[in-house]
């Protein structure tokens, strides 16, 4: 008979489970604190993961760490407490609220599927036509208090489906039309602009036909990216 029962041992790494702070996965199986600390996926996904799923995820996180170690930031943008870092040669990016974070999720350009601006959980209408900056100085809308203004980045990543950049702290509010409101919008627009351009460039690169006229289209994409980076 072993020293510990199966319930006392982590099914992922085999270590003893200590304390009460640990993750529970499918079938109410407990994972030790060490393994739990390495998990980085949408919270709603965790209860549906099997032991084998978690093992595969931790292998994925090891590869993510290798990307992070090699990551060289060539462009940055700050929005509130969140910083966007981009490694243009490697076509990778990540967002973090902590500069000392040891293994933040690293994403490829191709994993971007959309970027949306929300106020109090509602998308801003006609954003694609006017852009976030297009309505900053508009006098048509009456000033109102809002409690959330965020950029929602939608992803095709297997473990992280959305990244939210929130500009208003909990239990606080900002009035539309104020300097703070406009400053927040500009910061979010800068992040959105960077991500949208790189996503568009990557999409164009993957869909351009292999024909003589494709080189002209590639030049146009490069020109757009260069103009944004240089601004």
| pLDDT recorded at residue 73 | 97
| pLDDT recorded at residue 230 | 47
What rounded mean pLDDT belongs to the chain? 84
% of the chain surpassing 70 pLDDT: 77
- For residues 62 and 103, is the Cβ–Cβ distance under 8 A? no
Q: Which of 129, 109, 128 is nearest to 200 (CA)?
A: 109
Lowest mean pLDDT segment, chosen from 65-74, 123-132, 178-187, 219-228: 219-228
User: How many other C-beta atoms can be found within 10 angstroms of the C-beta atom of residue 152?
Assistant: 16
Buried b (16+ CB within 10 A) or exposed e, 121-138: eeeeeebeeeebeebbee
Residue 143 has pLDDT above 90, yes or no: no
| pLDDT recorded at residue 205 | 72
| Alpha carbons 109 and 91: distance in angstroms, whole number | 6
Residues 6+ apart with CB under 8 A from 87: 71, 72, 73, 74, 93
Determine the 3-state secondary structure of 149 from DSSP.
strand
Mean pLDDT for the stretch of residues 114-124: 94
Q: Which of 40, 112, 109 is nearest to 75 (CA)?
A: 109
Length of the chain: 231
Residue 201 has pLDDT above 90, yes or no: no
pTM, rounded to two decimals = 0.79
Residue 141 has pLDDT above 90, yes or no: no
Strand partners, 82: 79
């Amino acid at each position: 008979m072993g020293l510990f029962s199966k319930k006392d041992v982590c099914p992922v790494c085999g270590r003893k489970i200590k304390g009460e702070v640990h993750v529970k996965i499918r079938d109410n199986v407990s994972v030790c604190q060490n393994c739990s600390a390495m998990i980085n996926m949408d919270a709603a996904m965790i209860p549906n993961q099997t032991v084998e799923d978690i093992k595969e995820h931790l292998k994925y996180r090891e590869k993510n760490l290798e990307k992070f170690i090699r990551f060289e930031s060539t462009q940055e943008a700050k929005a509130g407490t969140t910083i966007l870092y981009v490694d243009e040669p490697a076509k990778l990016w990540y967002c973090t609220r902590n500069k000392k974070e040891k293994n933040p999720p690293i994403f490829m350009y191709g994993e971007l599927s959309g970027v949306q601006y929300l106020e109090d959980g509602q998308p801003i209408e006609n954003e694609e036509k006017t852009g976030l900056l297009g309505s900053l100085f508009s006098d048509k809308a009456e000033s109102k208090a809002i409690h959330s203004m965020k950029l929602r980045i939608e992803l095709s990543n297997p473990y992280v489906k959305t990244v939210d950049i929130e500009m208003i702290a909990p239990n606080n509010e900002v009035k539309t039309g104020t300097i703070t409101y406009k400053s927040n919008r500009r910061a979010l627009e800068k992040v959105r602009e960077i991500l949208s351009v790189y996503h568009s460039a990557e999409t164009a690169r993957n869909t351009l036909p292999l024909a003589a006229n494709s080189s002209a289209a590639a030049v146009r994409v490069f020109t757009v990216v260069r103009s944004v980076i240089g601004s």
